Amino acid sequence: MKSSILSTIAVAAIALCGGAVASAQSGKPMTPNDTTSYAVGMSIGRSFKDQGLEVDVNMVANGIRDFFAGNPKLTQEQFQAALTALQQKAMERMQAAQAAQAGENAKQGEAFLAENKKDPNVKVTASGLQYKVIKEGTGKKPTKENVVKVHYTGKLIDGKVFDSSVERGEPAEFPLSGVIAGWTEGLQLMSVGSKYTLFLPPNIAYGANGAGQSIGPNATLVFDVELIEIVK
């Protein structure tokens, strides 16, 4: 994944920097081609900085110049080995950062749930699911085989909203067998017309992998859910 990003940037640099070396010596982009070439350099720098990778900027420039001069100082095998090592270092840094975040998220989630269950209105199931009844409906309760229609707002424990059908203005429909375990369990506790707040520890949410950019590894999640209808 990281290697493809770096390779794309490198290819762009080679394609766009040709002929711009002399004018770029002044340090300030003077022509449209200078500006494009300088932007590619910024992109390379941002990629390395974002990944926490240290490189010698002068050697990067030398590599570009030598390539255009037709006199690269590395063989193809050395070139590939160096990029593979860089990819490995980037992967190790990413994995270390993810592990640290997972540990911190788990710690904060455990503390949140321990405090949350002190609320006499919060009930706890064997799985660790916590829920609070906001409004109790009078309709039927769905089973795992049903498709339901709901309105919901999903939040992190700091209150940040990461998803909301309410904000989109359109209820969501899904089979209860096709969602995270905390939803499958929690929705079966609800009668149609009910509004609950569900508090999901990571083992019944998205676990150590998280989900997308908003839900980190081992995140504890909070959902305000209204069960509108059992569709089928």
As a whole number, mean pLDDT of residues 128-147 equals: 95
pTM, two decimal places: 0.69
* Of 9, 36, 6, 12, the residue nearest 24 (C-alpha): 36
* Of 73, 92, 119, the residue nearest 2 (C-alpha): 92
CATH architecture of 121-230: Roll (3.10)
* Residue 12 scores a pLDDT above 90: no
The more confidently predicted of residues 155 and 68 is 155
Specify whether 152 is catalytic.
yes
Q: Which position among 44, 199, 206, 224 bears the catalytic label?
A: 206
Query: Which residue type occupies 125?
Result: T
Domain boundaries, the chain: 2-73, 121-230
Q: How far apart are CA 16 and CA 229, in angstroms?
A: 57
Specify whether 119 is catalytic.
no
Specify whether 199 is catalytic.
no
Q: How far is CA 88 from CA 2, 25, 49, 53, 83, in A?
A: 9, 33, 16, 11, 9
Q: Which position among 38, 48, 152, 199 bears the catalytic label?
A: 152
Specify whether 206 is catalytic.
yes
* Residue 68 scores a pLDDT above 70: yes
Q: Which position among 215, 223, 224, 230 bears the catalytic label?
A: 223
What are the pLDDT digits (tens) for 94-130? 888 888 889 999 999 999 999 999 999 999 999 999 9
Strand 147-156 relative to strand 161-164: parallel, antiparallel, unpaired? antiparallel
What are the pLDDT digits (tens) for 78-95? 889 988 888 888 788 888
Specify whether 68 is catalytic.
no
